[in-house]
Amino acid sequence: MKNFIIFCISLFLTSCGTTSTFEPINLKEKTLIDFPEKGTTVTASLGDRLVAKGYKEDGPAYDLNEGLIVQNVILNCSFTNNSRQNYFVNKINSNGDECAGPFVLSTSLDTGGTNFNCPGKTFARDICYSKSRDIFYVNFPNQYKPIDPNLIQKTRKMAIAQANYVQELIYNGRVDNNLKFVYREFSGDMIRPAFSQTVQYDYNESKFISFKELTLEIVEANNQIIKYKLINNF
């Protein structure tokens, strides 16, 4: 009997899930970043990004947190997510719902523990969003039990792409007559700067600062606020 129950759960998690059909979609967008507008006086604070230029590619995704995501799906077993995961929305299922994944989940008791019915078996399935029901669900045929809305949300995810490249300049304050800035370059996944450099300029020498192809006219600056005009971007 014990082996038969485990077989039923395995059958549900594997063969039953293969009957769904999907149509692949690509919702990623490539965005040009070019800030601020040339010739306009801009006011910024300490730590603000003054200038940015480049390209980034991102798209809609589903972000799933750890926890018991769906209760009592089959034979009193629930679905659990053991670590935070996020994936791009990349397909439409046969119902017309947008899906992302596959997410790696496991079977468990409602308490999060395991037993012979719910042995903690892992499986990979897409998660879909139903607009008509306003729910997220694990994609199995004829199974629409909602995922706990506190554990999943729509978000935007940065694509890891060679085309991603952004340059930016950040105001780092004024000490005496010296204006300090941090130059940063982002590429790839855009999470951490691939390169950064601290630069400073003597405000008494010139009201114009240049770095690479960038030129700014400094209108006013103290240790908290800076007013400036963009003459030429990176």
Assign 104 a pLDDT band (cuts: 50, 70, 90).
very high
Length of the chain: 234
196/223 Cα distance (integer angstroms): 21
Mean pLDDT (the chain) is 88
Assign 86 a pLDDT band (cuts: 50, 70, 90).
very high
Chain-centroid distance, C-alpha 159: 9
Question: In the structure encoding, which two tokens stand for residue 185, read together?
Answer: 């370059």
User: Average pLDDT of 71-88?
Assistant: 89
Q: What is the pLDDT of residues 128-151, one digit of tens each?
A: 999 999 999 999 877 789 999 999
Q: What is the pLDDT of residues 189-212, one digit of tens each?
A: 666 788 999 999 999 999 999 999
User: Average pLDDT of 6-10?
Assistant: 49
- pLDDT for the residue 13: 54
**For residue 36, is the peptide bond before it cis, meaning its omega torsion is within 30 degrees of 0?**
yes
Assign 24 a pLDDT band (cuts: 50, 70, 90).
very high
188/5 Cα distance (integer angstroms): 46
- pLDDT for the residue 95: 87
Chain-centroid distance, C-alpha 46: 26
- pLDDT for the residue 10: 52
User: Average pLDDT of 152-157?
Assistant: 96
- pLDDT for the residue 203: 95
Instruction: For residue 199, give every residue at least 6 positions away whose Cβ sits within 8 Å of its Cβ, in sequence order, or none.
Output: 180, 181, 182, 183, 211
218/84 Cα distance (integer angstroms): 44
Chain-centroid distance, C-alpha 98: 17
- pLDDT for the residue 12: 52
- pLDDT for the residue 4: 44
State in Å, rounded, how far the first CA of the chain is from the last one: 70
Assign 85 a pLDDT band (cuts: 50, 70, 90).
very high
Comparison of pLDDT for 95 and 15, the residue scoring more? 95
Question: In the structure encoding, which two tokens stand for residue 90, read together?
Answer: 């990349």
Instruction: Give bridge partners of residue 208 from the DSSP assignment.
Output: 217
DSSP 3-state of 73: strand
Assign 81 a pLDDT band (cuts: 50, 70, 90).
very high
DSSP 3-state of 24: strand
- CA angle centred on 32, ends 26 and 37, rounded to 5°: 155
CB 93 within 8 A of CB 139: yes
43/105 Cα distance (integer angstroms): 48
Assign 48 a pLDDT band (cuts: 50, 70, 90).
very high
111/147 Cα distance (integer angstroms): 16
